[in-house]
């Protein structure tokens, strides 16, 4: 394929925003979409979140929660780049899909609330990004409010997350006394709440403001200069290589709500964020610039409306160009399929997609053909992309068929949904009971809903609460070690797993059985 194709691929920037609920992800996303001209009014994304938006009839649960398929992927163009933002839902919507979405991006933006610092969900999502070694950019938000001292926030990044950081800019004051940011990268000061023509003050080679400026008389500015000196002397050096390897995060300060620092962030981010990279497969690395189309399915969204049994399979394109109507191979099924019903995602609407290239996400209408993790290929070589990692579930229920007469449809649905990757299945070793594991409550609700609507099977689910799962070697298994506090189960690959009641039970077990090695799949990358 020609230069145009290459240019197209190299213009792609595909990322997810990771954060704890309420850090400002929706607000930042909205501002980014406004810059990209993808939405006209502020409030569009927010309205979706609160359910005021007129949603289509995609999925009842989605409607009830006010989220929408269309907000799963948002695309816009900005100064020569095509940006794809993939949503990673928070709150109750947190699920394995959230983790898997991170398998489909090339970089991540981490939002931190300046008053709260690094929170739980951010840590979990960060770990998954770290495991993939993708670049992570940090936006420290809500500087218009009083928050933690910036140096403390930096220390937290390094201590809690174990990643080096390089502040691209630094706040001058905060809260009521927020004056702006000292921009180390562009060597200028960007003033808060100052009209665009006077907003930027250039800095001289010594990193100071030349001549007279009222900012110079502010003690806050003086303090910023001192902190900048400290960062220059004792802080990390900027290294584009380390950013690319995901071992150093560029840090930006700002206020998404007041749209301050967002454009500066976006423009710098686009310079350092990577275009699609080669990905590992069963036949080696696949070049995104290869002219053979390929991709993998990272998420399947079921339509909960019983009148529409279709689902959407989300495909991350990893090489070549997608053209509507093309025929692809699905190596798992050893089958060829014509992709005629496809869709792309814009912030406000869903369009039929005619063409898309590496880095883009397309949605395929699915009537039960695809599974999460499926590779799609074209050309002579059939291959599979690396298997998606297994994520450690945190919540568990005991599951059984409500109606004993319907065992058959119960087992059929159970096994199909587990195969598809909607939820994880375990079986207790001593009592042969079925347990389901999920990373978020929503997965159970979707499971129950789909069992009823797609398999005509009512299920009973008995909550077991949260557990800490640790895998263990086959030859170390001693069934007598199983108890209510450390329940021995098998996963669907017949591997042994202990489900610990809590941290305390885990530590107690380790002390009593120092020879039993426990593994967490999410630590092994």
Residues in contact with ligand GDP by CB under 6 A are 19, 21-27, 90, 141-142, 144-145, 255-257
Whole-angstrom Cα distance, residue 507 to residue 84? 43
- The neighbour count for residue 289, using CB atoms within 10 Å, is 18
Whole-angstrom Cα distance, residue 253 to residue 141? 6
CB of 394 to ligand GDP, least distance (A): 20
CB of 379 to ligand GDP, least distance (A): 41
26 is in an annotated binding site: yes
Q: What is the DSSP letter of 238?
A: P
Q: Which residue, 84 or 114, has its beta carbon nearer to ligand GDP?
A: 114
CB 375 within 8 A of CB 295: yes
CB of 300 to ligand GDP, least distance (A): 24
CB of 19 to ligand GDP, least distance (A): 5
| Distant-in-sequence, close-in-space partners of 441: CB < 8 Å, separation ≥ 6 | 92, 395
- The neighbour count for residue 96, using CB atoms within 10 Å, is 24
91 is in an annotated binding site: yes
Q: Which residue, 47 or 429, has its beta carbon nearer to ligand GDP?
A: 47
Q: Which residue, 140 or 435, has its beta carbon nearer to ligand GDP?
A: 140
Greatest Cα pair distance in the chain: 86
- The neighbour count for residue 280, using CB atoms within 10 Å, is 10
Q: Which residue, 19 or 342, has its beta carbon nearer to ligand GDP?
A: 19
Phi, psi of 398 (to 5 degrees): -90, 135
Q: Which residue, 22 or 458, has its beta carbon nearer to ligand GDP?
A: 22
Token digits of residue 351: 């369009």
Number of alpha helices (DSSP H) and beta strands (DSSP E) in the chain: 14, 31
Q: Which residue, 115 or 418, has its beta carbon nearer to ligand GDP?
A: 115
Whole-angstrom Cα distance, residue 278 to residue 492? 31
CB of 429 to ligand GDP, least distance (A): 40
CB of 119 to ligand GDP, least distance (A): 10
Q: Which residue, 136 or 423, has its beta carbon nearer to ligand GDP?
A: 136
142 is in an annotated binding site: yes
DSSP output for 21-32: TTSSHHHHHHHH
205 is in an annotated binding site: no
Whole-angstrom Cα distance, residue 22 to residue 471? 33
Q: Which residue, 68 or 486, has its beta carbon nearer to ligand GDP?
A: 68
360 is in an annotated binding site: no
CB 191 within 8 A of CB 179: yes
C-alpha distances out from residue 41 to 46, 243, 357, Å: 10, 33, 29
Going by DSSP bridges, is the β-strand pair 248-253/136-141 parallel, antiparallel, or unpaired?
parallel
Q: Which residue, 90 or 276, has its beta carbon nearer to ligand GDP?
A: 90
CB of 146 to ligand GDP, least distance (A): 10
Q: Which residue, 26 or 138, has its beta carbon nearer to ligand GDP?
A: 26
Strand partners, 352: 343
24 is in an annotated binding site: yes
21 is in an annotated binding site: yes
CB of 256 to ligand GDP, least distance (A): 4
Whole-angstrom Cα distance, residue 191 to residue 179? 6
Closest of 164, 184, 162, 180 to residue 172, by C-alpha: 180
97 is in an annotated binding site: no
CB of 257 to ligand GDP, least distance (A): 3
CB of 17 to ligand GDP, least distance (A): 8
Whole-angstrom Cα distance, residue 525 to residue 508? 26
127 is in an annotated binding site: no
Q: What is the DSSP letter of 179?
A: -
88 is in an annotated binding site: yes
CB of 164 to ligand GDP, least distance (A): 25
- Long-range CB pairs of 267-272 (<8 Å, 24+ gap) are 267/79, 268/168, 268/185, 268/186, 269/13, 269/109, 269/137, 270/13, 270/78, 270/79, 270/81, 270/83, 272/135, 272/137, 272/240, 272/243, 272/244
C-alpha distances out from residue 487 to 229, 440, 472, Å: 55, 20, 12
Query: Is the torsion defined by CA of 143, 148, 152, 153 positive or negative?
Result: negative
Q: Which residue, 59 or 174, has its beta carbon nearer to ligand GDP?
A: 174
514 is in an annotated binding site: no
87 is in an annotated binding site: yes
25 is in an annotated binding site: yes
Would you list which residues are annotated within the binding site for GTP? 19-26, 87-91, 141-144
Binding-site residue set: 19-26, 87-91, 141-144
């Amino acid at each position: 394929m020609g230069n145009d194709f290459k240019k197209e691929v190299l213009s792609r920037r595909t990322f997810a925003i990771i954060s704890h609920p309420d850090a400002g992800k929706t607000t930042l996303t909205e501002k980014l979409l406004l810059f990209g001209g993808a939405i006209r009014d502020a409030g569009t994304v927010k309205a979706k979140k609160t359910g005021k938006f007129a949603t289509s009839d995609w999925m009842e649960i989605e409607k009830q929660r006010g989220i929408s398929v269309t907000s799963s992927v948002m695309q816009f163009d900005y100064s020569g780049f095509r940006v794809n933002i993939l949503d990673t839902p928070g709150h109750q919507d947190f699920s394995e899909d959230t983790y898997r979405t991170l398998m489909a991006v090339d970089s991540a933006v981490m939002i931190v609330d300046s008053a709260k610092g690094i929170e739980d969900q951010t840590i979990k999502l960060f770990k998954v990004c770290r495991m993939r070694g993708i670049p992570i950019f940090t936006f420290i938000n809500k500087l218009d409010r009083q928050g933690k001292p910036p140096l403390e926030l930096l220390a937290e990044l390094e201590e809690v997350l174990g990643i080096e950081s390089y502040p691209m800019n630094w706040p001058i004051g905060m809260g009521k006394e927020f004056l702006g940011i000292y921009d180390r990268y562009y060597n200028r000061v960007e003033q808060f709440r100052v009209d665009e023509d006077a907003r930027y003050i250039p800095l001289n080679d010594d990193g100071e403001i030349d001549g007279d400026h009222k900012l110079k008389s502010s003690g806050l500015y003086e303090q910023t200069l001192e902190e900048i000196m400290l960062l220059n002397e004792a802080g990390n050096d900027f290294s584009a290589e380390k950013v690319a390897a995901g071992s150093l995060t560029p840090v930006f300060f700002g206020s998404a709500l007041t749209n301050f620092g967002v454009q500066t962030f976006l423009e710098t981010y686009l310079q350092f964020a990577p275009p699609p990279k080669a990905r590992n497969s069963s036949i080696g690395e696949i070049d995104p610039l290869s002219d053979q189309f390929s991709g993998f399915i990272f998420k399947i969204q079921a339509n909960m409306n019983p009148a529409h049994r279709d689902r959407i399979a989300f495909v991350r394109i990893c090489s070549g160009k997608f053209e509507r109507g093309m025929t692809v191979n699905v190596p798992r099924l050893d089958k060829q399929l014509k992709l005629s019903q496809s869709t792309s995602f814009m912030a406000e609407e869903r369009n039929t997609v005619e063409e898309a290239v590496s880095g883009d996400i397309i949605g395929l209408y699915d009537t039960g053909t695809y599974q999460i993790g499926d590779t799609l290929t074209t050309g002579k070589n059939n291959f599979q992309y690396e298997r998606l990692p297994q994520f450690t579930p945190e919540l568990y229920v005991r599951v059984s068929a409500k109606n004993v007469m319907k065992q058959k449809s119960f087992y059929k649905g159970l096994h199909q949904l587990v195969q598809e990757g909607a939820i994880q299945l375990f079986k207790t070793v001593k009592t042969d009971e079925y347990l389901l594991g999920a990373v978020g409550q929503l997965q159970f609700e979707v499971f129950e809903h789909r069992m009823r609507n797609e398999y005509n099977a009512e299920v009973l689910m008995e909550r077991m609460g949260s557990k800490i799962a640790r895998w263990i070697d086959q030859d170390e298994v001693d069934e007598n070690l199983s108890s209510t506090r450390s329940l021995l189960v098998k996963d669907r690959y017949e591997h042994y797993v202990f489900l610990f009641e809590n941290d305390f039970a885990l530590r107690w077990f380790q002390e009593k059985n120092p020879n039993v090695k426990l593994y967490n799949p999410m630590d092994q990358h």
